[in-house]
């Protein structure tokens, strides 16, 4: 991957849980693509999104995505955007891995 791009993960709170806040993953991917993000992928029907950004874009990506989802999809959802290293640190610090058969 080029030094000018970075992969990120967006986690949407409360999306597609029960009958409230239903979001099509195709619509969610389109929101990210329309915001200029690249290589947008979603995981199942979870509301989790992996995407590529240009490093030169130093924006608050979480707030930007959260506003777009509200404006375009009519869904209020808190969005957390994490970097590759933040995800790796969280996985490494998982206290449950020592007891898991298949972490």
Per-10-residue mean pLDDT, the chain, length 103:
79 78 89 94 88 78 93 92 90 81 65
Domain ranges of the chain: 5-90
What is the model's pLDDT at position 92? 86
Query: Residue 96 pairs with which residues in a beta bridge?
Result: none
CA distance 89 to 44: 24
The CATH class that applies to domain 5-90 reads: alpha beta
Alpha-carbon torsion (33, 35, 38, 39), positive or negative: negative
């Amino acid at each position: 991957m080029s030094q000018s791009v970075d992969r990120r993960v967006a986690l949407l709170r409360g999306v597609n849980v029960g009958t409230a806040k239903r979001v099509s993953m195709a619509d969610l991917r389109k929101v990210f693509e329309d915001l200029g993000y690249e290589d947008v992928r979603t995981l199942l029907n979870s509301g989790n999104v992996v995407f590529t950004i240009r490093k030169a874009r130093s924006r608050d990506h979480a707030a930007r995505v959260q506003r777009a989802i509200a404006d375009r999809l009519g869904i209020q959802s808190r969005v957390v955007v994490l970097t590759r290293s933040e995800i790796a640190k969280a996985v490494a610090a998982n206290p449950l891995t020592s007891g898991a058969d298949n972490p």
